[in-house]
Structure 1
Amino acid sequence: MEKLKIIMIAFFILPLGVLAQQTETDSIIDKPQRPAFESSTLVDNQTNVVNLKNQLEVQLNHRFGIINGDKNDLAGFWAPSNIRIGLSYGITDRITVGYGTTKYDRLQDFNLKAAILKQSRSDKMPISLTYYGNVTVNAKKNENFDFNRDRYSYFNQLIIARRFSPKVSLQIAPSISHYNLVESYMDNTRVAVAFGGRVKISENTSLMLDYSQPITQFGDDPDRPTFDTNLPGVSAGFEFSTSGHAFQLFITNFNGIVPQKNYMFNQNDFFKGDFLIGFNITRRYNF
């Protein structure tokens, strides 16, 4: 399993070495390259895609239950599912703000996405650099918390992406997740890094891969010593897209949807069959 993880990480990292090899393309107008991805999300992580000014995006994220969780749950379809419904709006062509509500823990996330650098067609700027962050509030009843601050968690991520060709795009995304309240065997903050990519196999269809690796490690849960609290996230699937709509269908071992929930608390081992079926739907409207 360790060798498989190394191979997957190398698959995503090695192509980024070409960023140092810029070629002269004077015949190309030096303007921003098309976005590296079709959607604002790549399964469980954000991409470098931000909304245009006055553009509204409606988001629906759905995760069914674990496939091997029970023999009588129809591959997770009858098991408890997690759902998030969100909206995001382009303040400018570089800044997008959003809000979402998630079923598990009644999480309310307020998020910001900003395009810091945009890849240029001439390759004078070889990458896109995008910031994504959120503040999330647990809206459970007051008796679940000693202090109001215990409801809050935070997520910050830098997304470094490149569109290598009309068919191939890759990204690497380091992140920091923070919870004000965690279990005693955990740290409040976790550093992680995600590697993702998509390959277009037809005009409107792409193959997606997404791998999320925790860097900081937690101790074992004394109540459940058989559970690993440092498991990576692994996702693979397909994306079907048009100019204003994207539908992603995939398998993943992340079921939290909100990113810090996935990075901090995932206990599903993809390599032992603890994965689920999920889908993301986005629809954009221009005003």
Structure 2
Amino acid sequence: MKKLSFLYIFLLLSPLAMISQEQEKDSVVDKPERPAFESSYIVDTPTDVLPTKNTLEIQMSHRFGTVNGGTNDLIGIWAPSNIRIGFTFSPHDRLTVGYGTTKFDRLQDFNWKVGILKQTRSGRIPVNVTYFGNFTIDARKAENFLVEQHRYSNFHQLIISRRFNSKLSMLVAPSVSHYNLVPQRMRNDVIALSLGGRYKISPQTSILVDYTHPFIHHLDGADLEMDPEDGVSLGVEFRTSSHAFQLFISSYQGIVPQKNIMFNQNNFFDGDFLIGFNITRLYNF
């Protein structure tokens, strides 16, 4: 009787054990994939990277003048440079909030990034989906504006990224840039599409590509001399556990996204590019 009782109990409990093992196996396989990128920006385009909760990220961005901008400026290094210093904080694993100040036009940007979907190792969710936005204030003197509202602009971007393997990651990111004040005949809103990629050539070193195309359509259908040029960037990234350094050439000098997309006049393929670098540093609390 005892043997039969043990056999009966075993038969009752064995399906539960199998279910528990299967759930444990599924939870391991379906863990979130590692971030597609290793820095919060790929040159000028935000990525899917969201530092863990209670992380402070310090950001320093520098853009020299264009390499063909003069005869005595040492490939733009002695020319007027644009600089942005900023920081972001992660109150949650899927949220960052930040602030930055930029030299050109004294732009003060308040930004945020939200993780919507995370790519899983099982492939059940094949991509990351992240939202990035900012609200920017032009802090130049009052005589530059007819009304206070002309100082304001904002930017919204949906970042769709995928980590294909340990070396290759790519993203596509549609965006909308809005300025309250624009030149005559120019629209206040511009839709753009950014494409970016990273390929690792060593555990700490990656090649970066960043491209942005603005879709311009004026009220009268005619092209304007002030129409923005595409943004093209090529660079290299050096990464440690808490620090990233990106060195690149780019046609963008504005740093703040909507400034670049709506007003860039540099044509990369005509030699209108500059040397720039980004530095980020993480502090965990």
Instruction: State if a TM-score over 0.5 links the two structures.
Output: yes
| Structure of greater Rg | 2
> Contact 2:216/2:227 (CA < 8 Å) preserved in 1?
no
Q: Do structure 1's residue 131 and structure 2's residue 117 form an aligned pair?
A: no
Report the 3-state secondary structure (helix = DSSP H, G, I; strand = E; otherwise coil) of the residue aligned with 2:212.
Answer: strand
CA offsets, 1:152-175, max 9 Å, x none?
000000000000000000000000
> Contact 1:54/1:90 (CA < 8 Å) preserved in 2?
yes
Q: Measure the CA separation in 1 of the matches of 2:99 and 2:212.
A: 23
Counterpart position of 2:148? 148
Q: Measure the CA separation in 2 of the matches of 1:201 and 1:273.
A: 27
Q: Measure the CA separation in 1 of the matches of 2:213 and 2:275.
A: 20
- TM-fit CA distance, 1:186: 1.1
> Contact 1:217/1:230 (CA < 8 Å) preserved in 2?
no
- TM-fit CA distance, 1:29: 2.0
Report the 3-state secondary structure (helix = DSSP H, G, I; strand = E; otherwise coil) of the residue aligned with 2:29.
Answer: coil
- TM-fit CA distance, 1:90: 0.2
CA offsets, 1:192-234, max 9 Å, x none?
000000000001000000000112335554xxx4xx5131100
> Contact 1:193/1:213 (CA < 8 Å) preserved in 2?
yes
Unaligned runs of 5+ in 1: 1-24
The letter of the residue matching 2:32 is: P
TM-score (norm 1): 0.88
CA offsets, 1:118-170, max 9 Å, x none?
00111111000000000000001111111110000000000000000000000
Counterpart position of 2:180? 180
The runs of at least 4 consecutive aligned structure 1 residues that moved more than 3 Å come to 25-28, 217-221
* Counterpart pick for 2:282 among 278, 281, 284: 284
* Counterpart pick for 1:232 among 230, 233, 244: 230
TM-score (norm 2): 0.88
- TM-fit CA distance, 1:28: 5.6
CA offsets, 1:63-113, max 9 Å, x none?
000000101100000000000000000010001000000000000000010
- TM-fit CA distance, 1:27: 9.8
Report the 3-state secondary structure (helix = DSSP H, G, I; strand = E; otherwise coil) of the residue aligned with 1:91.
Answer: strand
Q: Percent identity?
A: 60
RMSD: 1.4
Q: Do structure 1's residue 29 and structure 2's residue 44 form an aligned pair?
A: no
Q: Measure the CA separation in 2 of the matches of 1:198 and 1:91.
A: 27
Report the 3-state secondary structure (helix = DSSP H, G, I; strand = E; otherwise coil) of the residue aligned with 1:149.
Answer: helix
Counterpart position of 2:168? 168
